[in-house]
Structure 1
Amino acid sequence: MTPPTYPSKPSPGDRIAVISPSAGLPGLFPLPYELGLERLRKEYGLEPVEYPTTRTMGATPRARADDIHAAFADPTVKAIIASIGGDDQITVLPLLDRELIRANPKPFFGMSDNTNLLAYLHNTGIVAYHGASVMCELGRPGAMHPLTAESLRAALFTSGEYELRPAERFRDIDLPWDSPETFASEPPTEPGGGWIWHRPERVVEARSWGGNIEILSWLLMADREIARDPSVYDGCVLVLETSEDMPSANDVFWILRSMGERGLLGGFPALLMGRPKTWSFEKPNAPEAKARYAREQREAVLRAVDLYARDMMVVLDVDFGHTDPQLVIPYGGVIRVDGPARRITVTY
Structure 2
Amino acid sequence: MDKRQFIKSCALAATLVPLVSCANVIAAHSGRTASRLLPVALNPGDTVALVSPSKATDHKIDVQIAEEVMAALGLNVKTAPHLTARRGHLAGTDAERAGDINAMFADKDVRAIICLRGGSGAARLLPLLDYELIRNNPKILLGYSDITALHNAIHAQTGLVTFHGPNGTGSWNSFNADQFRRVFFERELMQYQNVIDAKDELAPRQNRTITITGGKVQGELIGGNLTVLTALAGSPYLPDFSGKILFIEDVEEAPYRVDRMLSTLKLMGALDKIAGFIFGECTDCSPGGGYGWLTMDQIFDDHIKPLNIPAYRGAMIGHIKQQFIVPVGGRVELDADAGTFRLLESVFQS
Question: What TM-score, normalized to structure 2?
Answer: 0.79
Describe the SS at the equivalent of 1:12: coil
Judging changes above 3 Å, is the alpha-carbon distance between structure 1 residues 156 and 199 closer, same or farther for their aligned structure 2 residues?
Answer: same
How many aligned positions are there? 300
The answer for the alignment partner of 1:179 in structure 2 is: none
The structure 2 residue matched to 1:339, chosen from 336, 341, 345, is: 336
Identity %, equivalent residues = 26
Match of 1:12 in 2: 44
1:152-301 alignment, distance < 5 Å = 152-168=180-196, 191-200=205-214, 202-220=215-233, 223-226=235-238, 232-243=240-251, 246-278=252-284, 296-301=295-300
Say whether the 8 Å CA contact 1:242–1:322 is kept in structure 2.
yes
Q: Shift of the alpha carbon at 1:191?
A: 4.6
> How far apart are the structure 1 equivalents of 2:71 and 2:216?
39
Taking the aligned partners of 1:119 and 1:12, their CA distance within structure 2 comes to 27
Partner of 2:93: 60
Residue 319 of structure 1 contacts residue 325 of structure 1 at CA under 8 Å; is this kept in 2? Answer: yes
Unmatched 5+ stretches in structure 1: 139-143, 171-189, 280-284, 290-294
Report the CA distance between 1:341 and its aligned residue: 4.4
- Deviation for aligned residue 1:29: 2.2
Work out whether residues 34 and 155 of structure 2, in 8 Å CA contact, stay in contact via their aligned partners in 1: no
Partner amino acid, structure 2, of 1:334? R
Farther-moved stretch of structure 1 (331-340 vs 265-274): 331-340
Assess if the C-alpha contact under 8 Å between 1:152 and 1:327 holds in 2.
Answer: no
* CA–CA separation in structure 2 for the residues paired with 1:251 and 1:340: 27
Unaligned runs of 5+ in 2: 1-32, 199-203, 289-293
SS in 2 for 1:233: coil
Give secondary structure in 2 for the equivalent of 1:192: coil
CA contact (8 A) 2:86 2:93 kept: no
What secondary structure is seen at the aligned counterpart in 1 of 2:139? coil
Displacement of 1:251:
0.9
> Quick check: 1:305 aligned with 2:304?
yes
Aligned counterparts of 1:157 and 1:5: Cα–Cα separation in 2:
19
The Cα shift of 1:198 comes to 1.7
SS at match of 2:166: coil
**Does the CA-based 8 Å contact 2:212-2:300 persist in structure 1?**
no
Amino acid at match of 1:10: L
SS of the residue corresponding to residue 136 of structure 1 reads: coil
User: Quick one: distance in 1 between partners of 2:109 and 2:334?
Assistant: 36
Contact preservation (8 Å) 1:93, 1:120: yes
Q: Point out the more displaced range, 202-211 or 157-166.
A: 157-166
SS in 2 for 1:108: strand
For residues 10-39 of structure 1, the C-alpha deviation after alignment (integer angstroms, 9 at most, x for no partner) is: 1100100100011221xx223343223212
Partners of 1:247 and 1:15 in 2: CA distance: 37
Question: Relative to structure 1, is the Cα distance of residues 17 and 298 closer, same or farther in structure 2, using a 3 angstrom cutoff?
Answer: farther
Deviation at 1:97? 1.0
Question: Does structure 1 residue 122 correspond to structure 2 residue 155?
Answer: yes
Partner of 2:291: none
What is the alpha-carbon distance in structure 1 between the residues aligned to residue 205 and residue 59 of structure 2?
A: 29
Give 1:2 deviation, angstroms: 4.1
Q: Which one of 93, 106, 112 corresponds to residue 73 of structure 1? A: 106
Is 1:321 matched with 2:335?
no
Which structure has greater helix proportion? 1
Could you tell me which amino acid in structure 2 is paired with residue 344 of structure 1?
Answer: F
Taking the aligned partners of 1:104 and 1:249, their CA distance within structure 2 comes to 40
